[in-house]
Structure 1
Amino acid sequence: MYPTSGRTRPDRTGRGRGRARGAGVGLAAALGLATLAVPGTAAAASRSIDHATFEWGVNAVWQGAAANGSCNQFVAGIGDGTESTYKTVDGNLHLIKRGLDGSAVTVTADDRCAEMAPGDAAQRGLWVDGTGTTDPDTGATTVQWTGALTVNSYGGAVPWYVKDPKLVTDGDGTGAIYATVGGYTSSLADPTTKTPLPPQIGVRVLDLKDVSISGDDIAATPVYEGVDYYPLNKPDDPDSGRRATSVITDEVKQANPHWGSWPTPFVDFQYRTGLSSYWHSSGLSADPKKPPLPIELGLAGALPATQPLADAPKITAQPVGVAAVTGEDATFSVTATGDDLRYSWQRSPAAAPDWKTVAGAHSSTLTVPTVTAADSDTSYRAVVTNGQRGTYSTGAGLTVGDAKPLAVASGTSATTVFAGNDVTFEAYFTGYPTPKYKPQLSTDEGKTWTDLAGFGDESYHTILGVTEKQNDALLRILADNGRERLAGTPGVLHVLPKPTTPTLVRRPNDQDALPVLDAAKGFSVLALAGGYPAPTPAHYDAVVPAAVWSARGSSYDGTGAVAATEVDGSGFDAGYGYAYVDVAAGALDPSVRYVLATYSTDPADRSLDAAVPLVLSGQEVVASTARVTLSRSSAAFGTALKATVAVTRAGKAAAGKVTVGIGSRRYAATLDKAGRASVALPRTLGVGTYRVSAAYAGNGTTKASSAATTLRIVKATAKARLAITKKPTSHKTGRAAVRVVRTASGPVAPTGTVRVYFVRGGKTASVAVSVRKAALQALTVPKLAKGTWRLYVRYSGSAQYRAIGKTAAGRLTVTR
């Protein structure tokens, strides 16, 4: 329903006329009823009618899309549902559409299905030049029109028509419209097959009540509510008698206080078309659309001037839900494109959709003032029109609550993935209003953060295809509810090198030792998988004795597996996924070592083989000793440094992987045959003291171990170089170039300020210049008097480089 902002609907004919109202019970008048005289008075002469009008839209069922995906469409004349019979004029019957502002709109074949409002094509059949008589004293009126209106139900699958309608009214406020009706019966299962129905003459199509005539105006209300329908025992046989009970059940009547039916003769006809229940209440979802639409009647009218169909407004930004604080305002907005746009807003309660217009709301923004708990869970939508056509926005919900500070319920967990895999991270917050969320990443230990997306409704985010450069990055979710902003606890992203062959890794996200499993209890074992073919074929995830796995040879069919699950590979994405097996309590022997393995369903195919050791509680695991040494324990900024890890077990070299950590950074390496591994430390470590840790993850036979040492990074030394490129005189300035370089090669060039001094006797002149990126920096040498000047430079230093005091840099002789 579209509000009209209090504007009176324009006259549609150019002459005064009435308008139908509502729906209710009524009395059917007899066809051809004679004019009545008032007893005791002389009957006045009947008035002739030559230009009566009758405008009809049937009901809302035939104004929207059909259930088969087509549109229900009006046709002028008797149509058979095909394009060849489509017309917009038939005799005195004309097709028009009604704009939201009441304007008459031209109908063409191309836009016949265009909606004037969502779900409403506003199609009308308009009969003009009706002829008849009316009695000015009693109001008894008879008007006959010519021309047929066809409704192509289901896009033409079931066409039916109303031809040559006739209005007959009593002088007691009741009346009816009669017409010849006809059409086809069809089946939705085979809409190409239509069987014509014989026309029926004088069928009562509409019952009318509250009929009144004032001059040329006729007011009349179609009857529907409270009318029962008792169907024929045999729809095709009028003499078969009727059922004793109404087709509208008591349950339907109780559920719908506005239940009703169209006139019995017309519904009888529609039962023969197969469109039976569209004409009376049935308890189905279409019931609200079944009552007759208001009709337009006039005794002296004409075909109105029509205007072309305008483009409907388009909504480009929908209103979004609002979480408001009790006592504050809530604001909704909508953005639309089109000409002459007009706005209104509607509100619906929480219980069920029941949209009501918000008084005084006529802009693209709606403010709900001083909200309370009673406003919570309501919805609002915008109505955007251009006068002729309109559209609704989607509904936007309003929640109301007391303000509560944001708090982190759970932060982002540390995550381990293979390079090339996707990773999803999340965090949860409490507080009100409910915040929006932004995912962020840091590669400098949390000093700065990069936004991975804008604020949105989801508190999780997926990074597609992580890289090794993102190893040890921090991930977090930032929450903002418009009142405050809070960052979630970050989690470390561990990125393992991209495997080239099937690989399983089983370790917790903090890269510590392998978890120990209790064989006496049932458990699920999970391992990160990567390096598999893409798409990944069907295979087995299984727990297998380590000895059996080692001896499997070139063919293996799962013999000896304690627990195995066949998977189809669909859970793998680009060769990445998880191996997962449920193990029953007591299924494993604590004295036997096991592996979690994957292998092909084809015993001869070894391309999917991969395994990772399992450690059971009670098994003997040899202790290990880790030791970490540095190539230098104290070094200047930018120095190339190396950390070496050595791991032994029972006095012999251990095997497996180690992780070197410095700050939040982690570097993985594999022990060589001597049980050693070296890792190059980043040369960009800033000045300060660092803890360098080494963690050995252990394996199925060796316990994990760790060690740590301290690294001190000090400022590096630098040199300043000065060159006079153009000597000054006592009358002209000169030019010089200065550069600051570190004494040893480094990753970052010195920056800062260099000041150059010119000294002669008791006179001193100086010039300062900023240096960056080890480039030559030009400077202007001031005018100097004749003589020999001593040159000095001084460097201010930076966060990575020591300052240089005032240092001699040569002499300059000025001769002119």
Structure 2
Amino acid sequence: MRRGAFASGVAAIALVWGLAAAPAVALADGPDDVIVTIPETGENPPVTPPAGGDRITNAQLRWGLNAESGGGAFAGGCNFLSAGRAGDSGGSRVWTASDGLYAPTDGAVRIEKPTADGGWTAASWDTKCLDPRGAAVTTASTASATGNQVVIDGGAGSRSAEGLEIRWSGSFTVAFYGGMTYWSITDPVLSLDSGGSGRLTGTASGYGTSMDDLTKWEPIAAATVVLAEIRGAAGDRGFTVTPEYLGVAATGAGQVPRTPQNAAYWGSFPQSFVDFHRLTGQQGYWLTTNGVRDAAKPASPVTVSYDAAAPVPVPPPAAGGAPASAAAPSNPLRLPAAVVAAVPDAPPIVAANAPLSTVPQAAGLVPEATGRWPALVLPLLASGSALGLAVIAVLSMMQLLPWQRAS
């Protein structure tokens, strides 16, 4: 099926997606720095506790993944969560209310948002892009976010001295760019050992295109991925813990080296997770790429309550994943709006959000972008500008400028 509008406009949109093509290298800043590489399933399989112990019949899982999953988008309005496994939109495009793709609830799954007074409320199509104060989220700051979270009740499993395992039935969808790219997770499973360490996994699916032919829209085969690596979770009623991200290195996914500028939020989601997103085109949103949205990428806290009827108290989520004092990443190349070519079928928001930096993704949905100007361009532009000003000054002294002669 052809998707002409997106095929024409994606090159312009790609430049503002906050991704950066870079070698998959993670370097420590000094001898005391530690790079954390989390082993995948084949090296450290999830722990399954033995039968017996405390049976769990109605556990609750609550998670917003990261701040970017509720942040403003450079096209399509915002990124958001939806209950259920979204159907086929037919192509890479912004969802509409009439599509029926968005759902605030689906079975035991629901989407909630924080309120201005510190509580929680049900999300809806009309409020999915609003922050707790009711203002539309923007890309101007990583502090602007809806804070939406997926909540799944009905988890069943067991808990003993050896660990725990809880399985939930249901799906949720993560939509970026108003639905231009989206994927789903079905039936998440939490497995922890006796020390409260383990993994949250799930079956991922979605839709992707080809770098070579953006008119293609193809379903992605379902695959089990690690959603979150968890360490030291503990609590009688449940727990809230921030999954591993900071200091985690990924390979083959475009992660940039750690620097003093990005150290406060440098890291990655689990390797199998970012590998899956090579197919969706979202890979650069789940690790550090030196893009303008890096501070919104670190994993948000995940909360598990062993009884959904008596859940663990959950404070409203923080907007960004980095401390307020963290320095912004460097994006030195800035281009004027004029460089965005007119695209007949592109959404109007493309022109309104002209690229501020070339930030391509290594592979997937977004084609590569040129990250440098030729070495002689800037000196020649500077020399040409100086010469032009000198000519104008001489003509002005001789009273030969057109408006001077006319007067």
TM-score by length of 2: 0.60
Q: 2:197 aligns with which of 166, 171, 174?
A: 174
Matched, 1:211 2:233: yes
Counterpart among 126, 134, 155 of residue 110 in structure 1 = 126
1:429-472 C-alpha deviation (Å, 9 max, x unpaired)? xxxxxxxxxxxxxxxxxxxxxxxxxxxxxxxxxxxxxxxxxxxx
1:538-591 alpha-carbon deviations (Å, 9 max, x no partner): xxxxxxxxxxxxxxxxxxxxxxxxxx54x4xxxxxxxxxxx425xxxxxxxxxx
Query: Hey, which of these two has a bigger chunk of strand by percent?
Result: 1
1:122 aligns with 147
The verdict on how the C-alpha distance between 1:185 and 1:112 changes in structure 2, with shifts beyond 3 A counting, is same
Partner SS state of residue 95, structure 1: strand
Deviation for aligned residue 1:189:
12
- List aligned pairs for 1:697-708, cutoff 5 A: none
| Paired AA for residue 192 in structure 2 | T
CA distance in 1, matches of 2:270, 2:151: 21
Q: Residue type matched to 1:169 in 2? A: L
Runs of 4+ in 1 over 4 A off after TM superposition: 24-32, 187-193
1:448 — aligned with what? none
> Is this contact kept in 2: 1:31–1:178, CA < 8 A?
no
Please say if 1:162 is aligned against 2:176. Answer: no
Deviation at 1:70, TM superposition (A): 2.0
Structure richer in helix, relative to its length: 2
Counterpart position of 1:68: 75
Tell me which residue corresponds to 1:223: 244
Deviations 1:202-221 (A, max 9, x none): 3111101121132x222433
**Structure 1 residue 77 corresponds to structure 2 residue 99:** no
Structure 1 position 54 matched with structure 2 position 61? yes
| Matched-pair contact (CA < 8 Å) for 1:115–1:122 | yes
- Counterparts of 2:308 and 2:213, CA distance in 1: 43
**Structure 1 position 181, deviation (Å):** 0.3
Q: What secondary structure does 1:255 align onto?
A: coil
TM-aligned CA distance change 1:113 to 1:177, over 3 Å:
same
Q: Matches of 1:191 and 1:122 in 2, distance apart?
A: 31
* Aligned with residue 291 of structure 2, among 254, 261, 284: 284
CA contact (8 A) 2:37 2:250 kept: no
C-alpha displacement of 1:102: 3.6
Q: Distance in 2 between matches of 1:227 and 1:56?
A: 20
Contact 1:147 1:163 (C-alpha < 8 Å) held by counterparts: yes
Q: 1 or 2 for the larger relative contact order (CA 8 Å, sep ≥6)?
A: 2
AA partner of residue 580 (structure 1): Q
Structure 2 Cα separation of the partners of residues 99 and 299 of structure 1: 25
Give the structure 1 partner of residue 208 of structure 2: 185
Determine if the alignment matches structure 1 residue 147 to structure 2 residue 153. Answer: no
Residues 60 and 187 (structure 1 numbering): CA distance in 2 closer, same or farther, change over 3 Å? farther
Matched residue pairs, number?
Answer: 274
Deviation at 1:74, TM superposition (A): 1.5
Shift of 1:178: 0.6
Shift of 1:114: 1.4
Distance verdict in 2 for CA 1:524–1:115, change over 3 Å: same
DSSP 3-state at the match of 2:48: coil
**Does structure 2 retain, via aligned residues, the 8 Å contact 1:31–1:168?**
no
> Quick check: 1:298 aligned with 2:305?
yes
CA drift of 1:186 comes to: 3.8
CA contact 1:279–1:290 (8 Å) conserved in 2: yes
Q: In the alignment, is the contact (CA less than 8 A) between 1:74 and 1:125 conserved in 2?
A: yes
Alignment of 1:394-433 (within 5 A): none
What is the alpha-carbon distance in structure 1 between the residues aligned to residue 222 and residue 118 of structure 2?
34
Kindly provide the amino acid, as one letter, of the partner of residue 297 in structure 1: V
Note the aligned Cα RMSD (angstroms).
3.3
Aligned partner letter, 2:191: V
CA 1:122–1:192: 2 relative to 1, 3 Å: farther
Mapped to 2, the partners of 1:35 and 1:100 lie a distance apart of 41
In 1, distance between residues paired with 2:327 and 2:64?
28
Q: Note the C-alpha offset of 1:188.
A: 10
Kindly state the Cα deviation for residue 152 of structure 1 after the two structures are TM-superposed. 1.6
1:270 match: secondary structure? helix
- Structure 2 unaligned segments of length 5 or more: list them: 1-35, 90-94, 138-143, 312-323, 329-393
Note if 1:257 corresponds to 2:271: no
Partner of 1:270: 277
Please list the CA deviations of residues 41-94 of structure 1 after superposition, one character each: whole Å capped at 9, or x if unmatched: xxx941100110011111111211112242112211111454322211122111
Matched residue type, 1:255? Q
CA distance in 1, matches of 2:214, 2:232: 41
1:505-553 CA distance string (max 9 Å, x none):
xxxxxxxxxxxxxxxx998377xxxxxxxxxxxxxxxxxxxxxxxxxxx
Alpha-carbon distance, 1:255 to partner:
3.4
Q: Distance between the aligned counterparts of 1:148 and 1:253, measured in 2?
A: 37
Cα shift at 1:101: 4.2
TM-score by length of 1: 0.31
Tell me if structure 2 keeps the 8 A contact 1:228–1:260: yes
Larger Rg: 1
Shift of 1:295: 1.1
Q: State the alpha-carbon separation in 1 of the partners of residues 193 and 39 from structure 2.
A: 10
Aligned to 1:544: none
1:281–1:195 Cα change, 3 Å: same
Q: Could you say what secondary structure the match of 1:150 adopts?
A: strand
Q: What is the SS of the residue equivalent to 1:580? A: helix
Q: Distance in 2 between matches of 1:522 and 1:198?
A: 69
* Letter of the structure 1 residue corresponding to residue 180 of structure 2: A
The CA deviation at 1:127 is 0.4
1:748-787 mapped onto 2 (5 Å cutoff) = none
Q: What is the CA deviation profile of residues 620-669 of structure 1, one whole-angstrom value per residue up to 9, with x for unaligned ones?
A: xxxxxxxxxxxxxxxxxxxxxxxxxxxxxxxxxxxxxxxxxxxxxxxxxx
1:97 aligns with 2:144: no
Q: How does 1:705-724 map to 2 (within 5 A)?
A: none
Q: Any idea what SS the aligned residue of 2:78 has?
A: coil
Contact 1:524 1:580 in 2 (8 A): no
Q: Residues 127-176 of structure 1, C-alpha deviation per residue, up to 9 Å, x if partnerless? A: 001100000x34x0100011111112111111101111110001123111
Aligned residue for 1:141, secondary structure, equals: strand
AA of the residue aligned to 1:257: A
**1:501-580 matches, cutoff 5 A:** 524=397, 565=401, 567=402, 579-580=403-404
Partner secondary structure for residue 210 of structure 1? coil
- In structure 1, what residue type is equivalent to 2:199? A
Task: Summarize deviations over 1:240-291 as a string: whole Å, max 9, x none.
Answer: xxxxxxx4343x3453224111101111001111111111111222111111
Partner of 1:133: 158
Which letter does structure 2 place at the counterpart of 1:203? V
Q: Which sections of structure 1, spanning at least 5 residues, go unmatched?
A: 1-23, 37-43, 233-246, 305-347, 354-520, 527-563, 568-578, 582-597, 599-609, 611-816
Partner Cα distance (1:67, 1:180) in 2? 28
Contact 1:129 1:302 in 2 (8 A): no
